[in-house]
Amino acid sequence: MATELLAQAPWRRCVVLGDAFAQGAGEPRAGYGDASWAERLAAALRSVRPDLAYVNLAQRDPVAAEVRARQLGKALTFQPDLAAVAAGGSDVLRDSFDADATEAELARIIAPLRDAGADVVVLAPFGSGTAGHLPEDVLRRRLRLLSERTHNLALRNGAIHVDLTAHPADADPGIFGAGGWHVNARGHAIAAAATIRRIGVHLGVYGPPSLH
């Protein structure tokens, strides 16, 4: 299925930027291997483009401003034609979370990548995670807000939006690890499948998107 969806993929150089979700943090889950969503995406792209160059610059838990400061320059130097950005989740966890400021920093990541000629995939994280210091209703409201902001950014910049916050699997606590915040290997597999489907829509291979 992934090979069919990506058969027309033109990309040769793929970079990933972001936080722990982009880096691949998560616990193993029987039957799902240990590959992150980004590694699964790269493997699927390589199934149709064996010469794909892939680099993951993501780090453990930086806020969006730190992703821009630490990773964007390296990403642009790599000269990607495809970039996947998963950031903002660490901002959501801060007591000082400012949706406008986070959106502005994400824009400063996405726009330069687009200006450099890269197609950009923007992922909004699953929205039902838990964080010990934040009430669940506050966290989920913030995650929904992050999803809305990333969707708007994608529209403005001609990027591809993967809305995991609205994914049906988000209601399943089995996609998260013991801490309740980072997804486990099953969550990564679902995120990869959703990303590949959304790219298939972008390429005109798959039907109308059911997710943003």
Q: Is the pLDDT of residue 110 over 50?
A: yes
pLDDT tens profile 143-156: 999 999 999 999 99
Query: How many alpha carbons fall within 13 Å on the CB side of residue 193?
Result: 11
pLDDT (tens digit, 9 = 90+) per residue, 165-175? 999 999 898 99
Kindly report the CATH number that applies to the domain delimited by 2-202: 3.40.50.1110
Residues of the chain with pLDDT > 70, as a percent, come to 97
- Is the predicted pLDDT of residue 7 greater than 60, yes or no? yes
Whether the per-residue pLDDT at 17 is higher than 50: the answer is yes
For residues 174 and 159, the model is more confident at 159
Q: What is the pTM of this model?
A: 0.94
Give the pLDDT of residue 207: 62
Tell me how far apart the alpha carbons of residues 82 and 62 are, in angstroms, rounded to a whole number: 22
| Long-range Cβ pairs for the range 140-146 (8 Å, 24+) | 142/92, 142/97, 142/99, 143/89, 143/92, 145/99, 146/88, 146/89, 146/91, 146/92, 146/99, 146/102
Amino acid code (one letter) for 24? G
Q: How far apart are the first and last CA of the chain?
A: 20
The stretch 81-110 carries a mean pLDDT of: 97
The confidence band for 131, taking pLDDT boundaries of 50, 70 and 90, is confident
Instruction: Give the residue-averaged pLDDT of 20-31.
Output: 86
* Per-residue pLDDT, 197: 96
Is residue 180 very low, low, confident or very high in pLDDT (cuts 50, 70, 90)? confident
Residue spans of the domains in the chain: they are: 2-202
Q: Which residues contact 35 (CB under 8 A, 6 or more apart)?
A: 24, 43, 185, 188, 189, 192
pLDDT at 64 over 60: yes
